[in-house]
Structure 1
Amino acid sequence: MSVRPRASASPLFTPHRTDRRTNRRAKAEFTAAQAKARHATRPETRHTVTGPDPELQPTYPAAGRPGPASARGGRLKLPAHRMTTAVASGAYPFLAEGGLGAQGIYVGQDVHAEASFCYDPFALYGRLEGFTNPNILLAGIIGMGKSALAKSLALRATAFGYKVYVPCDPKGEWTVVARELGGQTIALGPGLPGRLNPLDAPEKPYGISDEDWTTEVRKRRLLLLGSLAKTVLRRELHPMEHTALDIALDQVVAYTQQTGTTPLLGDVAFVLGSPQHLDAATGESSGRLGRAAEDLAHALRRMIHGDLGGMFDAPSTVRFDPSAPMLSIDLSRLGGTGDDTGLVLAMTCASAWMEAAISDPTAGRRWVIYDEAWRVMRHVALLERMQSQWKLSRGLGIANVMVIHRLSDLLTAGEAGSRGRALAEGLLTDCSTRIIYRQEADQLASAATLLGLTGVETQAVAALTKGRGLWKVAGRSFITQHLLHPAERTLFDTDARMHAKDREFEYFEEGS
């Protein structure tokens, strides 16, 4: 219980012998003291206030704090702080970025700058510092829109005169895109009429002598045969096996030049399985080379009589058309059983056939897209072919695009320090453009390590929504929202089967 303070005033005592003026002043002071005492003893009155609660009223009027403390009129002075643009972009990696310019393919919107985002690897090469190659890595979990981005880049690139090649389409999604652009699609698989001869000799580029071109074609054919054998045998070839391949290929080429035909894989396998032909070429009769080539002959037999029989051991049913805007090779009939060996062999042959077709550096600039590249990361032979194409991208005028799900897919190429791991990480190093869509929480650490992401970038990758990705272009960072045209959205719909309506069945009664 609170105690109310009390005030009192004693009677006025006026001493004798005081003048009148002093008495009046004393009486006035006494009267004021009495009035103060009466007001002090009264209970506190509460005034009813209408409107908002007084405690919620603003502390200062709308015009701001009055007086010298208002910080107006230039009275507030802070010390100046200077920093370089490199430091500013490190502190604010997205807000401080000015973009890549308006030249190139329209992708969408820069989320932080709220401006259009355009990209063209051929236009950026030589103009952007640190942009050393046109190769692209595209990674993202399922359903975030990475396939739509790859197809959109390919479709819009044709408007700039670029050609698009898809050497491996494991799911058959690029067929409809190629058809809409008026391009070619070769479907390979058991029971299909499509045939590709990987030993086809391409057209000789302008300015190369016949002798030099013959040597180049021979080297490419040997590399292809070696890649096929290593994929099936799952090991490196021995020196005598390399010799057997050389001799077998030379004998087949010499025979086809006399008959005016084209070398086939079956011809090479026949020579490898005939010790007398190999011994006759070396001038020996011991049969050592024939015994060394037995494994090679059986390895190539799968391409002739095995599950891939007929697809790559016959003359090509389609000739490469360099004027076609897009060419895709549909391999959706292969690799559905869980064993990727057949798919990898088909990819190796298809890649070799397409490389021979696009080897002319004067044929213009082209995009080569490896969709679902994660399926081949465990096969060193195909990684070696991809590395060669990555290294020659500038000389050939091609932009390679590698599409994977997770950054950790690169680590499945082999153990640390292995040949496969080194090749996979080399492909990543040779990509000046890294496009990262959303990654799962358990993948963020490996993604940050492989790509050198900052803490801000790592948090951004974890929170990306559909169609939004982190673009790392020569060390510069962008958060970009990919925008699709309604026609593109329909064309690139990979969830059509998920949203398809159930088929309607008609039930008939017996006897109807």
Structure 2
Amino acid sequence: MPRNRATASPLFVPRKATRTQQRVARAEFAKARTKARAAQAPSRRREHEGADPELQPSYPASGRPGPASARGGRLRLPKHRMTTAVAGGAYPFLAEAGLGAEGIFIGRDLHAEGSFCYDPFALYNSGRIEGFTNPNAILCGVIGMGKSALAKSIATRAIAHGYKIYVPSDPKGEWTGLAEALGGQTIALGPGLPGKLNPLDAPGRPTGVSEEDWTNEVRKRRLLLLASLAATVLKRDLLPMEHTGLDVALDLVVADAEATETVPLLGDIAHVLGNPERLDAALGDQAGGLGRAADDLAHAFRRLVHGDLSGMFDAPSTVAFDPAAPMLSIDLSRLGSSGDDTALVLAMTCASAWMEAALADPAGGRRWVIYDEAWRIMRHVGLLERMQQQFKLSRGLGIANLVILHRLSDLLSAGDAGSRGRVLAEGLLADCSTRIIYRQEPDQVQVSMSLLGLTGVEAQAIGALTRGRGLWKVAGLSFIVQHLLHPREKPLYDTDFRMTA
């Protein structure tokens, strides 16, 4: 809206004024402005009269003169160069290379505002990400934030990519419905159930491995299993003579099984350990009272034969493993969830040993092995040793291990600092190139920062993540990812149905 000519400033120039008229108008405006400033100068001087001389500027009120005033020129800063790795550390979530579009669709990268896909096998084979040395992953988050839905989503979508899924221990039976829906296989173990597994079953010899080498490998696996079972029941490390007793008992049982063309059983191990004369006779002059030293072992294995686990692992296997099944889960929910979870841990140990027979098959393809409720494992050194071996051999076996925890401090429950259990638990974390952290309680943020080396921005993020949203640390890269579910997936992954029914 045009202003009134009477109230216009001295610089008002008619729209059709000539250039000469415009110059004259600008000159008159400049004179009027100079006259007004001159009239205001005395009042400004009076304002500063009486002020502390030391506080008066040494330069005119109009500002510092010369080039130092930074007026009328361009500010020139030196150029700075940095690598993408440095930029990614200085500006997390903003400057990173991404994982690409190859792999399993997970959801949406909230900072890049694009799709987020993940495939540990593809990342390892491509070599694009420096520091991605293994396909193992760890997933942790408080209850109700969606970590179980993420694990089941990865399993379901991995099958579409040609991978197979193994769940060696399902303490709550949550994977049974999913396995059945996908055409997989579930083996339920518990008192009174028909399913039986012999953990001493020998896996088939892989192609290219000599008979002698494979016999030694099978013996080593069986000894590791027996030592884990005994240490779990006795709740202590085995003594040297007890290890020798297991060696001798296993050799005697295997020799008897070969002579009768049967398979060795845990009951046979318990029987030989309970016969001290036979153990001493097997070692001859070197026995040194070995038979009596194995008394505790005999009572420990008796629990598997006549105790609360009898009938499940002391007989030949009644179920056959189908290597073509897309998913196999071991349902241990019938074993209960009392304060003493020794029975559950023993069953997990036996089931894991039995499943390793399938993992050793080089023609089995690439597979995911998912350890749900892994916080139970962290308190038992025997299980940690088995997991460590499987993590170390993941590349040779063609498997990707996924460990699911509630919080990272569960790793510290494996024992005191410097103990065997703590070293094994922290070693599992070091052997995971992928760390997925869902929301953590405030008292867990500092522990997460210490164990994962999180930045301040990342630590702040994991304390405020919403449901289905997690921090993905893939080697040196960081992402905030919103997990997305298809409507048909939600009822399969729902673990709160009893709360909402």
Aligned to 2:233, what secondary structure does the other structure show?
helix
Bigger mean CA deviation after superposition, 88-97 or 272-281: 88-97
**Code of the aligned partner of 2:111:** H
**Structure 2 matches for 1:149-188, cutoff 5 A?**
149-188=150-189
Equivalence for 2:296:
295
Q: Aligned partners of 1:78 and 1:466: how far apart in 2?
A: 47
TM-score by length of 2: 0.83
Instruction: Encode CA deviations 1:279-316: one digit per residue, 9 max, x unaligned.
Output: 22123598812101110000001111111111100111
Cα distance in 1 for residues equivalent to 2:262 and 2:203: 14
Quickly say closer, same or farther: Cα 1:264–1:463, change in 2 above 3 A.
same
Which digits, 9 at most, give the CA deviation of each residue in 1:190-230, with x for residues without a partner?
Answer: 12111110000111111112121111111111111111011
The aligned counterpart of 2:342 is 341
Question: Is 2:204 the counterpart of 1:203?
Answer: yes
Native 8 Å contact 1:335 1:341 kept in 2: no
Distance 2:209 2:286 in 1: 40
CA distance in 1, matches of 2:85, 2:386: 38
Contact 1:111/1:481 (8 A) holds in 2: yes
For the 8 Å contact 2:116–2:481, the answer to whether it is kept is: yes
2:469 corresponds in structure 1 to: 468
- Separation of aligned partners in 2, 1:462 and 1:81: 37
2:43 aligns to what?
Answer: none
On the 8 A contact 1:275/1:287 being kept in 2, the answer is no
Partner of 2:499: 498
What SS is found at the alignment partner of 1:403? strand
Letter in 2 for 1:108: G
In the other structure, the counterpart of 1:86 is 85
Contact 2:101 2:116 in 1 (8 A): yes
TM score, norm. by length of structure 1: 0.81
Q: Whole-Å Cα distance in 2 between the matches of residues 305 and 178 of structure 1? A: 32
Residue 87 of structure 1 and its aligned partner are, at CA, apart by 3.5
Letter in 1 for 2:434: T
> Shift of the alpha carbon at 1:78?
5.5
Quote the residue 2:333 is aligned against.
Answer: 332
C-alpha distance in 2 between matches for 1:158 and 1:83: 44
Taking the aligned partners of 2:328 and 2:474, their CA distance within structure 1 comes to 27
- Which region of structure 1 is more displaced relative to structure 2, 76-85 or 322-331? 76-85
Q: Distance in 1 between matches of 2:221 and 2:107?
A: 40
Secondary structure of the residue aligned to 1:240 is helix
CA distance, structure 2, for counterparts of residue 79 and residue 280 of structure 1: 86
- Residues 106 and 118, structure 1, Cα contact 8 Å, conserved in 2: yes
Residue matched to 1:276: 277
Check the 8 A contact 2:130/2:476 in 1, yes or no.
Answer: no
Deviations 1:13-53 (A, max 9, x none): xxxxxxxxxxxxxxxxxxxxxxxxxxxxxxxxxxxxxxxxx
Q: What is residue 376 of structure 2 aligned with on the other side? A: 375
Look up the equivalent residue of 2:372 and give its one-letter code.
D
Matches within 5 A, 1:435-454: 435-454=436-455
Residue correspondence of structure 1 range 113-132 to structure 2 within 5 A: 113-126=112-125, 127=127, 128-132=129-133
After TM superposition, give the deviation of residue 81 of structure 1 in Å: 4.2
Cross-structure match for 2:396: 395
Counterparts of 2:438 and 2:77 in 1: how far apart (Å)?
Answer: 41
Structure 1 CA distance, aligned partners of 2:178 and 2:287? Answer: 56
1:322 and 2:317 correspond = no
Aligned 8 A contact 2:170 2:330 in 1 = yes
Size of the aligned set, in residue pairs, is: 427
CA deviation map 1:52-108 (0-9, x unaligned): xxxxxxxxxxxxxxxxxxxxxxx9766464342333322321122342000000000
Q: Secondary structure at the match of 1:315?
A: coil
Question: How far apart are 1:361 and its partner, in Å?
Answer: 3.1
Over 3 Å counting, the alpha-carbon distance change for 1:285 and 1:455 in structure 2 is closer
Counterparts of 1:478 and 1:226 in 2: how far apart (Å)? 41
| Structure with larger Rg | 1
Aligned partner of 2:478 in structure 1 is 477
Q: What are structure 1's unaligned runs of at least 5 residues?
A: 1-74, 501-512
Query: Per-residue displacement from partner, 1:214-270 (whole Å, max 9, x unpaired)?
Result: 111111111111110111111121222112111111111111112111111001100
Q: Measure, in 2, the Cα distance between the counterparts of 1:124 and 1:287.
A: 55
5 Å-filtered alignment, 1:294-313, equals 294-313=295-314
Partner SS, residue 362 of structure 2? coil
Deviation at 1:397, TM superposition (A): 0.7
CA contact (8 A) 1:224 1:349 kept: yes
Structure 1, residues 124-159: CA drift from partner, whole Å, max 9, x if none? 004221100000010000000000000000110011
2 CA distance for matches of 1:228 and 1:469? 36
Judge conservation of contact 1:383–1:420 (CA < 8 Å) in 2. yes
1:352 matches 2:353: yes
In structure 2, the residue matched to 1:104 is 103
CA distance in 2, matches of 1:283, 1:249: 17
Q: Provide the C-alpha distance between the structure 2 equivalents of 1:251 and 1:349, rounded to a whole number of angstroms.
A: 21
Q: Could you give the per-residue CA deviations for residues 370-394 of structure 1, whole angstroms, max 9, x where no partner exists?
A: 0000011111111111111111111
SS at match of 1:158: helix
> How big is the alpha-carbon RMSD for the aligned residues of Structure 1 and Structure 2?
1.6
CA drift of 1:349 comes to: 0.5
SS in 1 for 2:270: helix
Counterparts of 1:191 and 1:340, CA distance in 2: 19
- Relative distance call for 1:144 and 1:294 in structure 2 (3 A) is same
Take 1:147 and 1:408, find their aligned partners in 2: how far apart are those partners? Answer: 18
Q: Is the 8 A contact 2:137 2:432 kept in 1?
A: yes
Higher helix fraction: Structure 1 or Structure 2? 2
Equivalent in the alignment of 2:9: none
Aligned match of 1:213: 214
Gaps of 5+ in 2: 1-72
Q: Is the 8 A contact 2:358 2:364 kept in 1?
A: no
Distance 1:292 1:101, change over 3 A: same
Could you say what secondary structure the match of 2:489 adopts?
helix
CA–CA distance in structure 2, aligned partners of residues 170 and 204 of structure 1? 31
Q: Return the offset for 1:172.
A: 0.3
Q: In structure 2, what is the equivalent of residue 133 of structure 1?
A: 134
2 CA distance for matches of 1:462 and 1:213? 49
